[in-house]
Amino acid sequence: MKALLAALGALFTLVPTASSQQVLVDWDFTNAQNLSSPGVATPVGLGAVVLGQAEAATDASVSCSSITAHSRWQGDPCGPTGLQWSGGGFVATGELNLQKWDGDVLTSCGADNDGVNDNYLSFTITPTAGPVDVTRLSVSVWRNGTGAPGTYRMEVVVDGGAPQAFGSSMQDGATGTGVFQWFHFDGQVTVTSSLEVRFRPAASPGGQGTGNLHINGLRVEDATSGGPPDRPNVLFLIADDLTASALQTYGNAEALTPELNALAQRGMVFERAYCQYPVCDQSRPSLMAGWYPQRIAAAGGGFDAALGAHSTLPEHFKLNGYDTRRISKVYHMRVPGDITSGSSGPDHGPSWNSVFNVLAPEWASSGVAGHYTNETLNFTPGVHYGLGFGSAFYTVATDTDGSEQPDVISADQAIAQLAAMQNTGPFFLAVGFVRPHVPLVAPSSYFDLFDPLTLSLAASVVNDLADIPGAGIYWNEASRGPNNDADRRSVLQAYYASVTFMDEQVGRVLDQLEQLGLDDNTIVVFTSDHGYHLGEHSFWQKLSLHEESARVPLIIAGPGVVAGRTDGIAEFVDLYPTLTELADLETPELCQGVSLAPLLRGASASVRDAAICKVSGGNLLRTDEWAYMRYNNGSEELYDMRPAASGGDPLQFTNLASSAAHLATKAAL
């Protein structure tokens, strides 16, 4: 028990309540992933179960008690089972499992039928440097099982007074999802000596039920304190499956991306930025954690378990007084499956104060459809339509104005949320755009902007694949893309139409930022989760270590950022320390990237010598002059990435890995 209590103490984070802080107390049970489940906790005293002993940080303005579970059953065998750590059969081994927590119990197998839960979870905070204001209490929870309560309440005891409700009751319409959701209770109390916080779910009169509540977080905040007025906001915009070579600002004369052109004119354009893994579900968590995928995978147990005490990028901003919000796909979502169902996908709840998921028709949009691969598709409504990586190229030129499409809905929501946050303190707003991820859907007017007969196919050479090892081709066999030039041009038309459609939505959000007068104090980041092949080397799609797939577009604009272009090498893991430095926040020690701030301020020297990227079968090392790929079976690729005018091979047509003249180069890399 002592070991358990000691471990639980390490889960608790107390944050100073200076004006730059918002969170006063943060319980994060997901950090308990290495604890073995001790089973049902032993009752202490009159039904109080002690779960952990916390110690305040030396600079904290509050201290906090252990967290306890209270029950009126006093050992009655018919009473609620009580409090325990969830075992491996639940979503996260660090979550708190409140079994039968809907008990309306008074006597053996009976109830007082007052509809009030006779059980509650509580902890007490004590100011250490004068009175503190508390304006928000939050709980992260999911429920399952018969009778699991769907109404949540917060109750407080201020300075030893009578219990009182804090905020309004919250309804939880979801059950059995396994996805944690934050519920926020807003109120206002000033605490002089103590504040007992009670989470008390509602109960059905006379019923214990057999359901469970699973909790992995509790927070106490002063949502009015915010940060210093000059602390910059962050607007983080991320596209899906967007290759840099499909943007005008990266040299594509056939593309139409005027809004991103305008952003590039006032920001820094990174010519050589690279993702850590060219597929959505690996790249996005890596970016948000500021960690290489290898570190996340090595921990085992999934993303939440791997994080431990480390905060994600938006979570770190949240803990430093920012209002963090997510719109659509920022962490991973299946597209189109999670879009047609309006689901969160494997999101990270503690990152956000609020989330918004789009619900849109995707492939079922009304219009003219095209299918440019051989596989049979599953069009069952509400079911991920089984494209895999083979039958990716399904297109729809809709006969609508596009207002029903996910990126328009995301932009609408971003515009509304920017207006709501303009005077409430610093914010971190992350907006995900799902185009140009397949299915390639846009209004027909955007398709009409591109004549497929005039679109240029990717440059090629005879026998291009002859010197690319099989491991480098595996995910990009010819069967995975369109198989004739007419189809290839039709796919390019749909891809460019989707990009232009997405670009317009980005512009709408940026226009709102300017109209609200927020642009001068907002750091804007635009990127994509990875690159994409559009026929180079006869490759289509992603999961390649070649330049088109590993390289990403990256534009950063905002206060202190010099407008221009940089050849400095950048990685996704660098964005976390970059944004913390720009916001004058401390960078967590566990971040693995380096800050790009010197480049944003106009420095010409690169902040790193190389970028790395991986797929399941190999790794890429990208330096100033070389791209070296080594696969698990020992095969290799080596390309001279100097400009063609300097004798280089930037299109990667000649693999030098087997050249005796380049043995020393490989050895040096």
CATH number for 133: 2.60.120
Q: Please state, in angstroms and rounded to a whole number, the distance separating the CA atoms of residues 348 and 303.
A: 8
The residue type of 609 is D
Q: Are residues 153 and 16 in the same domain?
A: yes
Q: Give the residue, 253 or 29, on which the prediction is more confident.
A: 253
Q: Does residue 191 contact residue 125 with C-beta atoms inside 8 Å? A: yes
**More confident site: 72 or 524:** 524
Lookup result for tokens 């009976």: 110
Q: What is the pLDDT of residue 169?
A: 75
The confidence band for 385, taking pLDDT boundaries of 50, 70 and 90, is: low
Q: Is 476 helix (H, G, I), strand (E, B) or coil?
A: helix
pLDDT, tens only, 7-41: 223 333 333 323 334 578 877 655 443 333 333 33
Task: Examine the domain organization and report whether 265 and 413 are in the same domain.
Answer: yes
Residue with more model confidence, 61 or 266: 266
Beta-carbon contacts of residue 95 (< 8 Å; ≥ 6 apart): 29, 30, 85, 86, 180, 214, 215, 216
Contact 613, 278 (CB under 8 A): yes
pLDDT of residue 59: 31
Q: Which of 105, 96, 68, 106 lies closest to 203, judged by CA? A: 105
Residue 171 counted as domain residue: yes
Q: Please give the mean pLDDT across all residues of the chain.
A: 81
What confidence tier does 225 reach under pLDDT thresholds 50, 70, 90?
A: low
Name the token pair of 333.
């979502």
Strand partners, 621: 612, 628
Percent pLDDT > 90 in the chain is: 55
C-alpha–C-alpha distance, residues 442 and 500, integer Å: 9
pLDDT at 568 over 70: yes
CB neighbourhood size of 563 (10 A):
12
- Which helix (H) or strand (E) segment holds residue 183: the answer is strand 181-191
Q: Are 441 and 498 in contact (CB under 8 A)?
A: yes
Is residue 302 domain-shared with residue 345, that is, in the same domain? yes
Sort 576 into a burial class: Cβ within 10 Å, 0-12 / 13-18 / 19+: buried
Q: Is residue 513 part of a domain?
A: yes
- pLDDT: is 224 or 302 the higher one? 302
For 359-518, where are the E strands, in sequence order? 367-371, 394-398, 427-432, 440-443
The answer to whether residue 55 is domain-embedded is: yes
The span from the CA of 13 to the CA of 309, in Å, is 9
Task: Indicate the SS3 state at residue 212.
Answer: strand
Q: Is residue 475 in a domain?
A: no
Q: Are 517 and 539 members of one domain?
A: yes
**Residue 616 sits in the same domain as residue 586:** yes
Judge whether 387 lies within some domain.
no
* Residue 552 CB-density burial (10 A; 0-12 exposed, 13-18 middle, 19+ buried): buried
Quote the CA–CA distance of 63 and 57 in Å, as a whole number.
Answer: 8
Answer with the one of 195, 221, 247 that is the final residue of a domain.
221
Could you tell me if 214 and 306 lie in one domain? no
Residue 206 φ/ψ region, left for φ over 0, alpha for ψ in the -120 to 50 degree band, beta for the rest = left
Domain boundary among 221, 251, 280: 221
| pLDDT at residue 15 in the model | 32
Please state the domain count of the chain. 2
257: nearest Cα among 512, 490, 507: 507
Q: What is the CATH number of the domain that holds 337?
A: 3.40.720.10
Residue 538, domain extent:
233-359+405-436+502-595+603-624
When mean pLDDT is compared across 204-213, 217-226, 329-338, 362-371, the lowest value belongs to: 204-213
Q: What is the pLDDT of residue 371?
A: 85
Tens-place pLDDT, residues 463-508: 999 999 999 997 776 666 788 999 999 999 999 999 999 999 999 9
In a domain? residue 459: no
Of 341, 318, 278, the closest CA to residue 613 belongs to 278
Q: Is residue 207 domain-shared with residue 352, that is, in the same domain?
A: no
Lowest pLDDT segment from 216-225, 323-332, 384-393, 411-420: 384-393
Are residues 182 and 260 located together in one domain of the fold?
no
Same domain, yes or no, for 8 and 135?
A: yes
pTM: 0.71
Q: Does residue 78 sit in the same domain as residue 216?
A: yes
> How high is the pLDDT of residue 550?
98
